[in-house]
Chains A and B, each alone.
Chain A
Amino acid sequence: MDKLGIIPGHLVAQLINFFLLMGVLTLVLYKPVLRMLRERSERIAKGLAYADEAEKRVAQAEAEYQRRLEEARREAQAIIAQAREAAEKERQAILARAQAEAEAERARVAEELERERQAALVALRGQVADLAIEAAGRVLRRAVDEPAHRQLVREFLSQLERGS
């Protein structure tokens, strides 16, 4: 034992040294470092989970956005169609009204014309009768002024009219 240098006191001292070192290192090295490693890995896991969540949310938002966009587009289409329909209706209405108005105007003008024609015709007839009587008077050299004669001319004229 002496040649090998084994001294019981030293053996015990080294044993104590070892357990002392083990205790101290557990306190100042293993515990803090392992805790830090665990915390960090937890944090990374949390971060990754959060990133996943965020990605999912972004995808959701994107889908929602697309959905809304589609909805808005459809709505816009509907509004446009509606507006177009309304405009068409309006156009039809305006057109109809204008046509009716034009028709009415035309009728009115035609009526006026007719009336004037009638008036002119009546006046013309009178004048023609007068002229005929005048002419007949000239021809007969006497006045053809009696009502009987007038009546005669009128009948003639109406016969003419009927004949024409």
Chain B
Amino acid sequence: MFRKPRFWLLVFTLAALIFNFCHPFDIQLPHISLAAEKVATIGGFPITNTLIASWVTMAVLIVVSVLATRNMREVPRGLQNVVELVVEKLYGFVESIAGPHTPLIFPTIATLFLFIIVSNWMGLLPGYLSIVVEHAAPSAHEGAHAVEKVPLLRSAATDLNTTLALAIASVLMSQVYGVIVVGFPQYFLRFVNIRRPIAFFRGLQGRGPRTGVGSLLFGFIDLFIGVLELFDEFTKILSFSFRLFGNIFAGEVLLGVMVFLFPFVASLPFLGLEIFVGAVQAFVFAVLSTAFIAQATAHHGAEAEAHEEQSVPQPHVVSTVGQGT
């Protein structure tokens, strides 16, 4: 019994759990702040801990990529294997949603996914939030330079600047790809749909088939739908950014509180939960971005169908979902 490692593990766990209630350390509830803390100021530009964390994430991603692809081999080994697996799975996944436009949109989706998942997971590493630097903050009180302790690193997605930037990038790229695939003026007809009124007035002037007044009415509905579509793009930015921010920030707060209550062992399950949440959020962000971009690039087919009324219905690009893998 005393030789079994399982027994000692149990004893250790129990001891740690009891230790939770009688340890000599002074563990404080972490200061919860929605805004990222400023660590330093360079040339008037405040550097926050989340910005540093994003740079670290970027550096890790770039260094790993360079190391993995520096000497690519036909027969992959080690890191190259891992990187190839990740890229291949991601590519297959994007292909299953976006179909033929995959080569065009893949870098955006993959970068979103990789940045978010790596940043989320790195945010769980020891050192984040726990390494503290002193920062002489220009305090509200004139003259008195209060020295406050702020964490050097804080998970990048716990800053709305980061998540908003990612959301804007995603929505912006979906417009860009829409214009690339559908064409310049045609794509924006999605937001300002004046095809029916134009057809109506052309009909009146005898330069096209006559359409009824009802078509003019539908034209107004189209315009309204266009406004909704435009509004939808901004909603996407908000939902993207607040979903990611909310989940990761809440996770951080949860972990902080758990560590405050039970510093040893008991908070471990929540760490596992946060690993899961971090991956899920990255996945959700990537899936939604892919779906929105696929929608934007597929718009052409649906519109052309509505425009040339008697034409043969074209296959919708979104219908390629599930064809790949």
Interface residues of A (CB under 8 A from B): 2-7, 9-15, 17-22, 24-26, 28-30, 32-34, 36-37, 39-40, 43
Kindly state the separation between the CA atoms of A18 and B18 in the bound complex, as whole angstroms.
46
Taking the complex as formed, is B274 at the interface, i.e. its CB lies under 8 A from any CB of chain A?
no
Which of B62-70, B219-227, B280-288, B299-307 forms part of the interface with chain A?
A: B62-70
- Of A10, A18, A39, the residue contacting B169 (CB under 8 A) is A18
Kindly state the separation between the CA atoms of A24 and B51 in the bound complex, as whole angstroms.
18
Can you name 18 A-B residue pairings with CB atoms under 8 Å? A5-B36, A5-B161, A6-B164, A13-B165, A14-B51, A14-B166, A18-B115, A22-B107, A24-B58, A25-B61, A25-B65, A28-B62, A28-B66, A29-B65, A29-B87, A30-B106, A30-B107, A33-B83
In the complex formed, the residue of B with least CB distance to A3 is B34
Interface 1/0 per residue, B157-175 and A, CB below 8 Å: 0011110111011000000
Q: Is the CB of B166 within 8 A of A32?
A: no
Taking the complex as formed, is B114 at the interface, i.e. its CB lies under 8 A from any CB of chain A?
yes
- Of A2, A5, A39, the residue contacting B159 (CB under 8 A) is A5
Most buried by B among A4, A10, A36: A10
Main secondary structure of the interface of A (DSSP, over half): helix
Q: Is the CB of B91 within 8 A of A9?
A: no
Please name all residues of chain A whose beta carbon is closer than 8 Å to the beta carbon of B169 when the two chains form the complex.
15, 18-19
Taking the complex as formed, is B110 at the interface, i.e. its CB lies under 8 A from any CB of chain A?
yes
Kindly state the separation between the CA atoms of A10 and B91 in the bound complex, as whole angstroms.
31
Q: Is the CB of B88 within 8 A of A15?
A: no
Q: Is the CB of B111 within 8 A of A37?
A: no
Please name all residues of chain B whose beta carbon is closer than 8 Å to the beta carbon of A37 when the two chains form the complex.
84, 87-88, 91
Kindly state the separation between the CA atoms of A6 and B45 in the bound complex, as whole angstroms.
14
Please name all residues of chain B whose beta carbon is closer than 8 Å to the beta carbon of A14 when the two chains form the complex.
51, 54, 161-162, 164-166
Please name all residues of chain A whose beta carbon is closer than 8 Å to the beta carbon of B106 when the two chains form the complex.
30, 34
Q: Is the CB of B35 within 8 A of A32?
A: no
Kindly state the separation between the CA atoms of A20 and B55 in the bound complex, as whole angstroms.
11
In the complex formed, the residue of B with least CB distance to A40 is B74
Known: A5-B33, A29-B110, A30-B107. 4 other contacts (CB 8 A): A2-B35, A13-B51, A21-B61, A22-B107
Taking the complex as formed, is B108 at the interface, i.e. its CB lies under 8 A from any CB of chain A?
yes
Q: Is the CB of A21 within 8 A of B111?
A: yes
Kindly state the separation between the CA atoms of A28 and B110 in the bound complex, as whole angstroms.
13
Taking the complex as formed, is B297 at the interface, i.e. its CB lies under 8 A from any CB of chain A?
no
Q: Is the CB of B35 within 8 A of A30?
A: no
Q: Is the CB of A30 within 8 A of B51?
A: no
Q: Which residues 10-68 of B have a CB within 8 angstroms of A? A: 33-36, 45-46, 48, 51, 54-55, 58, 61-62, 65-66, 68
Please name all residues of chain A whose beta carbon is closer than 8 Å to the beta carbon of B84 when the two chains form the complex.
33, 36-37
In the complex formed, the residue of B with least CB distance to A36 is B72
Kindly state the separation between the CA atoms of A137 and B94 in the bound complex, as whole angstroms.
156
Please name all residues of chain B whose beta carbon is closer than 8 Å to the beta carbon of A5 when the two chains form the complex.
33-36, 48, 159-161
Kindly state the separation between the CA atoms of A43 and B76 in the bound complex, as whole angstroms.
14
- Given the interface contacts A9-B45, A25-B62, A30-B106, does A15 sit within 8 Å of B165 by beta carbon? yes
- Ranked nearest first, the 8 interchain pairs of A and B with the lowest CB-CB distance are A5-B35, A14-B165, A29-B65, A10-B161, A22-B111, A32-B69, A33-B87, A15-B165
Q: Is the CB of B62 within 8 A of A21?
A: yes
B228 to chain A, nearest CB (A): 26
Please name all residues of chain A whose beta carbon is closer than 8 Å to the beta carbon of B160 when the two chains form the complex.
4-6
Q: Is the CB of A43 within 8 A of B74?
A: yes
- Given the interface contacts A14-B162, A36-B72, does A30 sit within 8 Å of B62 by beta carbon? no
- Of B46, B62, B83, B88, the residue contacting A24 (CB under 8 A) is B62
Kindly state the separation between the CA atoms of A14 and B58 in the bound complex, as whole angstroms.
11
Kindly state the separation between the CA atoms of A57 and B34 in the bound complex, as whole angstroms.
72
- Of A21, A26, A40, the residue contacting B58 (CB under 8 A) is A21
